[in-house]
Amino acid sequence: MHDAVAGHPNAGRVDLREAVCLSSCDNGCAAAIAMPGKWRYLLGRLDPSLAGDLLDYAAIYAAHPTGTVLPSRRPASLARMVLGRMPA
């Protein structure tokens, strides 16, 4: 997943960090999205083909003052991929 996001043309919009484990074993590939002072999200069941949608999700997240990404604002492919949300 990391390589797919890093290789995407829009990857320059995010500070990408590779993680060895996000303890999401039963949920396939996972990604965490976080910024200081905002909610943090853990997404799972991801596939490398969703790299562009994940970057779109990150852009919506970054634009919101608290990082809230309402289900209606998420890319359709990620509608059911949020595994958890943690406070800032």
Q: Is the pLDDT of residue 5 over 90?
A: yes
**pLDDT value at 38 more than 90:** yes
Runs of H (alpha helix) within the chain: 2-6, 51-63
Rounded CA separation 88/37 (Å): 5
Question: Does the pLDDT value for residue 3 go beyond 90?
Answer: yes
The average pLDDT across 16-39 equals 93
Could you tell me the residue ranges of all domains in the chain? 2-86
**Model pTM score:** 0.91
| pLDDT above 70 as % of the chain | 100
Q: How many CB atoms lie within 10 A of CB 40?
A: 15
